[in-house]
């Protein structure tokens, strides 16, 4: 009886390992989860219409009526932050999604095909590295106009090399392992080897890399908004709130910039911590 | 005279914050100038035992028992004493010389480092290591000293490691699988140099290996480890004639021979146990064909039987049945 | 087996030259070329076992990789079961066909299984590619194959990390056998196993040969292992064959000096290592 249990434990040790979760992963994950929930439920939980200006209530401090105060036109800051979460998170999510998809395909194809194709991809990625994401986004806005689409597309392209480079080296390391050779000898098609063997084995790295990219994309997109090149007012985004709040800082009302800024920082830190810890877990599991 | 005493050594390493036993109660002594081969399969704890001798263990390891070198407890040494002990009394030769030599410094710089550190003049140190390289069969020494590790072959690099170990004139050599990564012909050469130099200088050696035959050819005594326990200690010369532990016998029998073919290799059933998996009884219980009830309940102590020491309850009755038939292959022996 | 049956593998004048290139920059100019395999010929009959022996750098692994299709020969011919192999790049269909002819088991049991694939799915993947059985049929076959290599159904849902080195190597053998190949190449397949496990796997390999009549190409540096498993030996040094003959003859009365050197270097009862110096430079 005891030996059967021991044999089972020996064959399936994962169940025990899963139980002790890292508290940092839990905290950061919970924070991000709440943020996403808030963004989705914005119409129901925001206490005010985020765009309803009430001149009489301008620049109010923290109060029972306005938990986080109001801006110079009397709009409720809490409501604006809640509504702002939608586009502030949707933008980077789209960027990371597109960049990861593109980067993964390029990386695995490079690792598998190798040779000239690999060299070509590497050179193109080097070229893209040379352009800061913000510059690329500004060029895109200049060409296609302000809004969400142009910066998101531009930044997706700008973030692709970050994913590609890391994944390519991981995928080509996997590709050189005997299990891939065994699949090749077994007659498994190239597409199956890539999608069923290489991809799952680089997936943890893909997850951490895109999580870390998310934080960075959020800041860059906020910067685009801050420069007034993103979503146009009156729609709220956190980046744009930092920018509009700027003028009232000198007048002694820093709430808008400060609150939006803090939210951006905390969110980015949460994403980076999550990515970092996931990376740490991965290297431990490799042992 | 006893040089090194490993006294009831036990070692725990935490895995997932739970301590995991790596070594169970190992007692072994080495005389001055004696070579002992520590033999076992992977995970038997032989490497960890040799590392414990110079306290080269993970930070969070918990050690029990004691290690006494020349009358002084190694485990009780403070930082400074330990540093002196490591640099003057013992030297270690590792399996993979490439990862133990700084790749961006020349072979010469690596070799004289310990001597210069000790206060020798550079020129003197160079003279010493040049002579040593010559004794381990390396030619074109001035040229070799200026080369970088990656420019030397594995066998040559391992001989450089041996020279480096000898340079500090230690009293004990710890060799951890020094030839496992080498080709057989290179292995023979490296082992021969190691053996000759060790004998000429009267150094004691703890030779860690998985290869019983290799250990028997260069050592005075053989200590066999299984699952973190020492199961048999015997004279190297008698390893083929009179083995007492079923595990040692199984190990000898299951290795294919180059001289003849057997229809079917005798095997030890099952797989090697890990030290932490052991229950109450004998560590070899689950794979032993001779196990009795007492083997299930009581772990056998290492005790003197004839000229050997063995940890087996049935050593007396089994002695004779376990003798390895291979002795007959040996030239000049016809029993 | 009728006398006229073609050999399981036949290799004629096989050559592999590697062009070692200086990293980036000098892409066109090849700096140095290395002849890894130099005009090697041999054949392995149905159900026979040939061992290719040599030290590191002898070209034995490159030879195996060419036979199994992981490297393309520079020149020379390979025929498996009488069917010539093209040395050009091949597509999935041809590879599927070849998979039924030759399979390989690698040295390192730790990296030769996909860490994210269970044992059962690993073997099933091969079955699904090569046979038209339904899932139930495949699962029965998986159990059969696991049984054949000394494991059982309980291991099917396990991931490789839960298995010991010897168990993993058994899974790798089961995966190779799943394709029902004519030839099984063992590239140092027992070299990294513990002695007690090595014996088990060697016995297993000889059982498999008796049972299904597969031919072996055994790549090894270990002459004792080779004595146990092979009918014939091919000794290689620096890409060339230095001796070729029946196992007993080569090991009992070696003709070549290199074979003698290899034999004399093996630790055995009464053996003692002999020291030699590096060759003295000519001009001193």
**Nearest beta carbon to residue A188 from set C68, C113, C125:** C125
Residues of chain A with C-beta less than 8 angstroms from the C-beta of B16 = 17, 20
Q: Quick check: is C123 in a domain?
A: no
| pLDDT band at residue A279 under the 50/70/90 scheme | confident
B127-174: pLDDT as tens digits: 999 999 988 888 889 999 999 998 888 888 998 999 999 988 899 999
What is the Cα–Cα distance from A46 to A20, expressed in whole angstroms?
36
A81-138: pLDDT as tens digits: 999 888 889 999 999 999 999 999 999 999 999 889 999 999 999 998 888 888 888 8
B277 touches chain A (CB under 8 A): yes
Name the CATH architecture for the domain at A91-287: Orthogonal Bundle (1.10)
Q: Quick check: is C124 in a domain?
A: no
What is the Cα–Cα distance from A2 to B286, expressed in whole angstroms?
14
E strands, chain B, are 2-15, 18-31, 35-39, 62-69, 72-73, 90-93, 172-176, 204-209, 221-226, 229-235, 303-305, 308-310
B122 touches chain C (CB under 8 A): no
Q: Quick check: is C37 in a domain?
A: yes
- How much is the average pLDDT of B205-218? 93
The pLDDT of residue A229: 85
C183 close to C80: Cβ distance less than 8 angstroms:
yes
- Name the residue in chain B with its Cα closest to that of C151: B270
B254 close to B41: Cβ distance less than 8 angstroms:
no
What is the Cα–Cα distance from B204 to B212, expressed in whole angstroms?
19
**Nearest beta carbon to residue B41 from set C196, C222, C223:** C196
Q: Quick check: is C222 in a domain?
A: yes
Q: What is the CATH number of the domain that holds C67?
A: 3.40.50.300
Radius of gyration of chain B (CA): 21
Record the pTM.
0.84
| Number of Cβ within a 10 Å radius of residue C143 | 18
A20–B16: do the CB atoms touch at under 8 Å?
yes
B179-194: pLDDT as tens digits: 888 888 888 988 998 9
Strand, coil or helix: what is A150? helix
Long-range CB contacts (within 8 A, 24+) of A9-18 = A10/C162, A11/C154, A11/C155, A11/C158, A11/C162, A11/C163, A12/C157, A12/C158, A12/C162, A13/C161, A13/C162, A14/C159, A17/B16
Write the ipTM. Answer: 0.88
The pLDDT of residue A104: 95
| Number of Cβ within a 10 Å radius of residue A19 | 7
Range of the domain at C190: 9-111+183-268
Asked whether the predicted pLDDT for residue B331 surpasses 70, the reply is: no
φ and ψ of C90, to 5 deg: -120, 155
CA A272, A275, A278, A284 torsion: positive or negative? negative
Please give the mean pLDDT across all residues of chain A: 84
All structural domains of chain B, each given as residue ranges with its CATH number in brackets, are: 2-225 (3.40.50.300), 243-329 (no CATH)
**C94 CA: distance to closest CA in chain B (Å):** 37
Q: Quick check: is C16 in a domain?
A: yes
- How much is the average pLDDT of C234-256? 94
Q: Return the partners of chain A (3 or more C-beta pairs < 8 Å).
A: B, C
- Name the residue in chain A with its Cα closest to that of C67: A185
**C197 CA: distance to closest CA in chain B (Å):** 7
What is the Cα–Cα distance from B72 to B88, expressed in whole angstroms?
14
Q: What are the sequence ranges of the domains in chain A?
A: 91-287
The pLDDT of residue A121: 94
Residues of chain A with C-beta less than 8 angstroms from the C-beta of B277 = 6
Q: Quick check: is C48 in a domain?
A: yes
* Structural domain count, chain C: 1
- Name the residue in chain A with its Cα closest to that of B277: A6
Closest CA to B27 of B55, B68, B61, B72: B68
Give the neighbor-by-neighbor strand order of the sheet with B204-209: B90-93, B172-176, B204-209, B35-39, B221-226, B229-235, B308-310, B303-305
Which 259-318 residues of chain B touch chain C by CB within 8 A?
A: 259-262, 264-268, 271-272, 287
| pLDDT band at residue C283 under the 50/70/90 scheme | very low
For chain A, how far is it from start to end, CA to CA, in angstroms?
A: 30
What is the Cα–Cα distance from B59 to B73, expressed in whole angstroms?
19
- How much is the average pLDDT of C8-36? 76
Token output for B123: 């020129």
Which residues of C lie inside 8 Å of A (Cβ-Cβ)? 68-70, 92, 95-100, 102-104, 106-108, 111-117, 125-126, 129-130, 154-155, 157-159, 161-163, 172, 175-176, 179
What is the Cα–Cα distance from C2 to C81, expressed in whole angstroms?
13
Which helix (H) or strand (E) segment holds residue C79: the answer is strand C75-80
The pLDDT of residue C29: 54
Asked whether the predicted pLDDT for residue C54 surpasses 50, the reply is: yes
The pLDDT of residue B327: 41
């Amino acid at each position: 009886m005891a030996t059967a249990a021991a044999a089972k434990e020996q064959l399936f040790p994962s169940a025990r390992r899963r139980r002790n979760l890292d508290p940092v992963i839990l905290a950061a994950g919970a924070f991000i989860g709440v943020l996403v929930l808030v963004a989705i439920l914005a119409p129901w939980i925001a206490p005010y219409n985020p765009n309803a200006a009430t001149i009489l209530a301008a620049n109010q401090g923290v109060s029972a009526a306005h938990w986080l105060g109001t801006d110079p036109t009397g709009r409720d800051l809490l409501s604006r932050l809640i509504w702002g979460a939608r586009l502030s998170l949707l933008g980077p999510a789209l960027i990371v999604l597109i960049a990861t998809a593109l980067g993964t395909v390029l990386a695995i194809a490079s690792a598998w095909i190798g040779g000239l194709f690999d060299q070509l991809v590497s050179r193109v990625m080097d070229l893209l590295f040379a352009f800061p994401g913000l510059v690329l986004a500004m060029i895109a806005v200049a060409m296609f106009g302000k809004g969400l689409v142009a910066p998101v597309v531009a930044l997706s392209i700008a973030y692709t090399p970050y994913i590609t480079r890391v994944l390519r080296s991981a995928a080509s390391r996997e590709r050189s392992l005997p299990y891939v050779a065994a699949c090749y000898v077994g007659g498994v098609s190239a597409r199956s080897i890539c999608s069923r063997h290489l991809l799952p084995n680089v997936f943890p790295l893909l997850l951490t890399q895109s999580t870390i990219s998310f934080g960075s994309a959020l800041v860059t997109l906020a910067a685009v908004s801050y420069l007034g090149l993103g979503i146009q007012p009156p729609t709220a985004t956190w980046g744009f709130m930092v920018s509009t709040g700027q003028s009232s800082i000198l007048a002694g009302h820093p709430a808008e910039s400060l609150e939006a800024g803090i939210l951006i920082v905390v969110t980015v830190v949460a994403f980076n911590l999550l990515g970092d810890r996931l990376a740490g877990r991965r290297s431990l599991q490799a042992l | 005279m006893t040089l090194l005493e490993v006294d009831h050594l036990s070692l725990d390493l935490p895995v997932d914050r739970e301590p995991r036993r790596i070594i169970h109660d190992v007692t072994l002594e080495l005389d001055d100038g004696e070579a002992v081969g520590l033999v076992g399969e992977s995970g038997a704890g032989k490497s960890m035992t040799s590392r414990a001798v110079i306290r080269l263990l993970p930070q969070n390891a918990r050690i029990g028992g004691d290690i006494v070198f020349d009358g002084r407890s190694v485990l009780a040494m403070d930082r400074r004493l330990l540093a002196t002990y490591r640099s003057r009394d013992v030297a270690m030769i590792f399996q993979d010389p490439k990862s133990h030599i700084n790749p961006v410094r020349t072979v010469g710089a690596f070799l004289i480092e310990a001597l210069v550190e000790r206060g020798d003049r550079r020129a003197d140190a160079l003279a010493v290591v040049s002579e040593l390289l010559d004794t381990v069969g390396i030619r074109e020494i001035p040229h070799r000293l200026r080369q970088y590790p990656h420019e030397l072959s594995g066998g040559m690099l391992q001989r450089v490691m041996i020279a480096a170990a000898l340079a500090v004139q230690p009293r004990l050599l710890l060799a951890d699988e020094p030839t496992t990564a080498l080709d057989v012909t290179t292995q023979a050469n490296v082992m021969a140099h190691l053996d000759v130099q060790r004998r000429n200088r009267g150094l004691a050696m703890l030779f860690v290996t998985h290869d019983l035959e290799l250990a028997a050819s260069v050592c005075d005594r053989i200590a066999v480890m299984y699952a973190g326990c020492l199961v048999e200690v015997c004279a190297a010369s008698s390893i083929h004639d009179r083995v007492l532990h079923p595990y040692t016998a199984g190990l000898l029998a299951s290795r294919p021979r180059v001289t003849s073919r057997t229809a079917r290799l005798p095997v030890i059933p099952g797989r090697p146990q890990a030290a932490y998996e052991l229950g109450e009884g004998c560590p070899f219980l689950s794979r032993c064909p001779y196990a009795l009830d007492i083997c299930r309940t009581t772990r056998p102590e290492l005790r003197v039987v004839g000229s050997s020491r063995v940890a087996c309850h049935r050593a007396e009755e089994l002695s004779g049945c376990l003798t390895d038939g291979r002795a007959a292959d040996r030239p000049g022996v016809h029993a | 087996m009728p006398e006229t049956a073609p050999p399981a593998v036949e290799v004629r004048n096989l050559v592999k030259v590697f062009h070692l290139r200086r990293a980036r920059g000098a892409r066109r100019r090849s700096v140095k070329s290395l002849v890894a395999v130099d005009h090697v010929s041999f054949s392995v009959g149905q159900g026979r076992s040939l061992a290719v022996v040599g030290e590191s750098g002898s070209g034995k692994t490159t030879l195996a990789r060419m036979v199994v299709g992981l490297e393309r020969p520079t020149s020379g011919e390979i025929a498996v079961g009488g069917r010539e192999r093209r040395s050009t790049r091949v597509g999935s269909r041809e590879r599927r066909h070849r998979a039924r002819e030759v399979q390989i088991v690698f040295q390192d049991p730790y990296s030769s299984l996909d860490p994210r694939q269970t044992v059962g799915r690993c073997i099933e993947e091969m079955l699904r590619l090569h046979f038209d059985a339904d899932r139930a049929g495949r699962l029965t076959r998986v159990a059969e194959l696991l049984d054949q290599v000394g494991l059982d159904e309980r291991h099917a849902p396990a991931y490789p990390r839960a298995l010991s080195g010897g168990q993993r190597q058994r899974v790798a053998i089961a995966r190779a056998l799943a394709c029902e190949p004519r030839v099984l190449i063992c590239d140092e397949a027992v070299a990294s196993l513990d002695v007690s496990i090595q014996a088990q796997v060697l016995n297993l390999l000889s059982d498999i040969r008796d049972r299904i009549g597969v031919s072996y190409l055994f790549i090894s540096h270990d002459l004792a292992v080779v004595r146990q498993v092979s009918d014939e030996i091919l000794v290689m040094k620096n890409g060339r064959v230095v001796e070729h003959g029946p196992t007993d003859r080569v090991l009992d009365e070696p003709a070549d000096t290199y074979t003698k050197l290899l034999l004399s270097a093996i630790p055995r009862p009464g053996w003692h290592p002999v020291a030699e110096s590096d060759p003295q430079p000519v001009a001193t």
